[in-house]
Structure 1
């Protein structure tokens, strides 16, 4: 526990007091909710917890956003006013540990778990260092029992954790950072680029975003395995999906399942009389909140809105809950599966422009500029050795994911012959050593 608090303080010591305060308040509220026999008093303590945790997010993450929106509204009604944004530092990992605390209180209130009476165990659940900065968003019902039981050293688990760390490091410093080197110049000067170059930039940014966050998640899960603790899987080869619902079942799984359990399910139950319309409202509302969770910017809200709207055809066709395994029992997908995967990737790729853009004006201007006659030109200025090697690395990256798509993680090669396993290890080490780029931070650290 002390090591986790030191890790957080080392990242930014100014918010250590805030983290400890969050831990103690949620710990005590969980006990009070459970100890009360009066349901109204239980609700009071739950509401206090929701107000406290959501209030932290609203202040640290969204205060200036809503303040600016308020003054814009006044100006729209002819009330001339000006304001100065507050200088508010965003605590690292606040979106992740706040959602963990909220989920814990809701589970205690719904009697799905017993509250934890050991403050050190609860503190470790909240502040466990591999996950506190960028997840996964763990559930108390899965995490706390693991730290209550004695954990013995397991050679197989330790080696598997090291494999996952190696794969995550490769995804981050080789795939994500080389993609960033290609995408950033295009986004930074998008008004001067041809349409084909803009598509080029959008493609490499989509890969960067995935490799960056999945790489972090794999490293976090791998490090946790070294301590005998299994974190939940956060990505499960999402780009091998054939519809948007299946994509979100495999993309940022810990956030998606949290939103499904605590937002979508109660909201869809409330709107069940409206049938499909109610289901659509519940889905769109949930994904708008998914977008808003990422940050205080209209780009994230519209990003979530678009993804929610992509579900509408699935709702009316009744195929939202279908999740067919791709190329089951075969080496390669069928033509139909391939077309669906490519079309879904293109849809996600263009929507990710909203994720990368500074504001809505830039996002829609970027998208508008894609559709011109220069779309059919060749962006020769970006076709060099960096592009060639990065493309080959991406093919290798997705090739390994494809082979392991039905396994527990993307680099589960424990059953491969010894020479093949070590061939993989050495190859990845060489790529990291010679082609890896220095990474200052992870994209999701800002959330």
Structure 2
């Protein structure tokens, strides 16, 4: 009850206007779950499932995508007729709707497939949906993992509590130090990309990839860490993805809760349906899934194109049968081999260039930015655009990546529980001091817009 009331207050404080929508979503999905299981005939179960799909997907389409479809339709009409004037409907996007809607969708599908029992306690189900550490930006939790933790009595664990504090500290450092310092360069370079050389544009794109990762993984670590203080374990959402050697490995480590959700509820049934087409069917399933992954992020063609590119990157892996062949880079070693280093750096640069479309407003601007990178000025010495701040930010990013590298095989990015006491406290103090000195205030997280 305490966690539920806290979660409702938290969401209302973030945006009270959509509290009724959240409550309505909870109640409808709760009763649909019960109806699916109680229905004796499969046709009735399927109807209740379809009602749930229509309701939840309908929420997303109306609040998140209606303006996009409406404006795209008008633009198509304008191609074939005189210009039509129109006004955007200015539909507000409820905070966290993509996250809690996917969570309830997964819940109803799992109930229908008899993988879980429907919740018979409205308070427990309400907490599952509205739990405050994850409702705004995930992770997207599964009922099979989280509901049992809500039901059972939770005893205080000193080790879990302290480990939660470690993740909070590291997540805070990632957000207010790494992401926010990178943002200063990113905003300046992307907003004035025609004024800079290709080498500076490449640095700007690299800093944006780091910013995006530090911003979202920082939120996830803080959310998981806060949840540990209450004895509830949320799933890991990032596992040092920049150290991957191929695109398949990258998506097993990037936004894990979304990737696994799409794998279970979109890719698996689609690939089963298209299995008779063998590799072609597998490629179609992957590309379609990643287009949806991109579209999930926002109502813009840039996100669709972003997802399409990532789906295309899987094609060589499918044809060469290496979709699941990647292992941890430099497993049990501090220094990777030359071959693995080349693979890791090459993939990182592909991610950096693709993330440009995640940052710009239109696909056309994304290609213009890339055109600016791949000009002869790419080989010019980059201008120092922010003085000593450039070197400081670069040093902070290197420190951030180094800590993540040495913990790449641990349970999270700042899992130093097995280090000696003096080493642990030296790390805590150093990260805390860096946060105090170089941390910057921020109004929001990047993924709040999704």
Q: Aligning the two structures, in what range does the TM-score lie when normalised by the shorter sequence?
A: over 0.9
Q: Does 1:42 align with 2:45?
A: yes
1:208 deviation in Å?
0.3
1:305 maps to 308
Determine which of 354, 357, 362 is the counterpart of 1:351: 354
Instruction: Give the one of 88, 93, 98 matched to 2:91.
Output: 88
Q: How does 1:9-24 map to 2 (within 5 A)?
A: 9-24=12-27
Which structure 2 segments of 5+ residues have no match? none
Partner of 1:270: 273
> In the alignment, what sits opposite 1:257?
260
Structure 1 segments, 4+ long, off by >6 Å, are: none
Give me the whole-angstrom Cα distance separating, in 2, the residues matched to 1:357 and 1:98.
26
Secondary structure of the corresponding residue to residue 229 of structure 1: coil
Partner residue, 2:217: 214
Match of 1:400 among 384, 393, 403: 403
Residues 86-123 of structure 1 show CA distances to partners (whole Å, capped at 9, x for unaligned) of 01110000000000000000000000000000000000
- TM-score (ref. length: structure 1): 0.99
The residue correspondences of 1:217-256 to structure 2 (distance < 5 A) are: 217-256=220-259
What secondary structure is seen at the aligned counterpart in 1 of 2:9? helix
- SS of equivalent to 1:88: coil
Q: Who is 1:143 aligned against?
A: 146
* Cα separation, 2, equivalents of 1:443 and 1:277: 35
SS of residue matched to 1:186: helix
The superposition leaves residues 156-205 of structure 1 with CA deviations (integer Å, 9 ceiling, x where unpaired) of: 00000000000000000110000111111000111121111110100100
Separation in 2 of the partners of 1:372 and 1:225?
49
Structure 2 residue corresponding to 1:286, chosen from 284, 289, 311: 289
How many angstroms apart in 1 are the aligned matches of 2:181 and 2:400? Answer: 13
Map residues 336-347 of structure 1 onto 2, 5 A cutoff: 336-347=339-350
Any idea what the Cα deviations from partners look like across 1:106-157, whole Å, max 9, x if unmatched?
0000000000000000000000000000000000000000011100111000
Distance in 2 between the 1:201 and 1:329 partners?
A: 33
1:20-74 per-residue CA deviation (whole Å, 9 max, x = no partner) reads 0000000000000000011111111000000000000000000010001111121
- Secondary structure at the residue paired with 2:208? helix
Flag structure 1 segments of 5+ consecutive residues without an equivalent.
none
Alpha-carbon distance, 1:79 to partner = 5.4
Q: Which residue of 1 aligns with 2:366?
A: 363
1:324 is aligned to 327
1:102 to 92, 98, 105: 105
Q: Deviations over 1:350-406 (max 9, x none)?
A: 000000001112111111111111111122232621111111111111111111111
Q: In the alignment, what sits opposite 1:415?
A: 418
Distance 2:313 2:159 in 1: 41
Structure 2 CA distance for aligned equivalents of residues 379 and 338 of structure 1: 24
**Contact preservation (8 Å) 2:384, 2:390:** no
> How many pairs were matched up?
447
SS in 2 for 1:181: helix
For the residue of structure 2 that corresponds to 1:115, the secondary structure is: coil
Counterpart for residue 387 of structure 2: 384
2:176 corresponds to which residue?
A: 173
**Aligned residue in 1 for 2:5:** 2
Alignment match, 1:374: 377
Distance 1:302 1:152 in 2: 47
**CA distance 1:340–1:383, change in 2 (3 Å):** farther
1:191 aligns with 2:185: no
State the Cα distance separating 1:82 from its structure 2 match. 2.4
Greater Cα offset, 256-265 or 396-405? 396-405
Question: For residues 141 and 271 of structure 1, what CA distance do their matches in structure 2 show?
Answer: 28
| 1:441 pairs with 2:444 | yes
C-alpha distance in structure 2 between counterparts of 1:398 and 1:200, whole Å: 16
Normalised to the residue count of structure 2, the TM-score between the two structures is: 0.98
Instruction: Give the Cα separation in 1 of the matches to 2:331 and 2:98.
Output: 37
Q: Distance in 1 between matches of 2:404 and 2:164?
A: 17
CA distance in 1, matches of 2:344, 2:387: 27
Deviations 1:286-339 (A, max 9, x none): 000000000000000000000000000000000011121211232210000000
**CA offset at residue 77 of structure 1?**
2.2
Moved more, 321-330 or 274-283: 321-330
